Amino acid sequence: MHIILSILGAIVTILFYLSIMSRSGLNFRWLTWLDPFAWNRRRKWQQTLNADPAFTIKDPMEATACLLFVAAKCSGEISREQKETIVRLFEEEFHMNETRARELLTSCSFMIPDEQKIIDRIEGFLEPSLLHFDQHQKDAALELLGKVITCEGQPTEKQTELVEKVKLQFFGHPRSEENKWGHGS
């Protein structure tokens, strides 16, 4: 038993002296792996660094702008008419000048290269910003979505599906008439 205690004491002493030397300027990179707090900070930073920026949007205006871009793009490539409609809506609803509205549309296009990822994971996309939406903003976002998907005629099935998913996220699951009190069957 005394041998095990002396070995453990020697290991702790060596680690303690290595820690002191690393604080004085010597770099023992492998020693930081023994610190659980540093490991946790490193892990959280790695998750933040590798996160998709579209799924970290907290501002309701930016989230709505991205939703408008996704709604236009899910019918195929965005046409000039759709771009002009979106820019005009940004100017009118978000009270932006034309330059800022075009910059917002461009940033949405760079932030969301694959609209299908947003459509498939709409809950994760809206989760950070959903608490910041008030009732008026939710209604306005749905109205803007409606304007974008109908700017070239009838909306596609994919666009209608997107709007329904957004409605479910904004207002929750609709109750059926048979089960209006919310009791399970």
For residue 30, being part of any structural domain is answered with no
Q: What is the DSSP letter of 33?
A: G
In a domain, 18, yes or no: no
Long-range contacts, stretch 84-92, CB < 8 angstroms, 24+ apart: 85/147, 85/148, 85/151, 86/148, 89/144, 89/147, 89/148, 90/65
Residue showing tokens 């109908």:
150
Q: What is the pLDDT of residue 185?
A: 47
Is residue 83 in a domain? Answer: yes
What is the model's pLDDT at position 51?
83
CA 109, CA 41: separation in Å to the nearest integer? 32
pLDDT the model gives residue 173: 65
For residue 65, the domain's CATH number is 1.10.3680.10
The tens place of each residue's pLDDT in the chain, 185 residues long, gives 889 999 999 998 988 887 787 777 776 666 666 677 878 888 898 888 888 888 999 999 999 999 999 999 988 889 899 999 999 999 999 999 999 999 999 999 999 988 899 999 999 999 999 999 999 999 999 999 999 999 888 999 999 999 999 999 998 865 455 555 555 54
Judge whether 150 lies within some domain: yes
Distance CA 185, CA 179 (A): 8
Q: Has residue 6 been placed in a domain?
A: no
Provide CB contacts within 8 A for 122, sequence distance 6+: 162, 165, 166, 169
pLDDT number for residue 93: 93
d(CA 156, CA 154): 7
Residue ranges of alpha helices (H) inside the chain are 2-23, 36-50, 60-73, 80-93, 98-111, 115-120, 122-130, 135-149, 157-171
Is position 5 within any domain? no
Q: Give the chain's length.
A: 185
pLDDT score recorded for residue 32 = 64
Residue 112 domain-assigned (yes or no): yes
Domain count of the fold of the chain: 1
Domain limits for position 117: 54-171
Whether 183 is covered by a domain: the verdict is no
Predicted pLDDT of residue 35 = 72
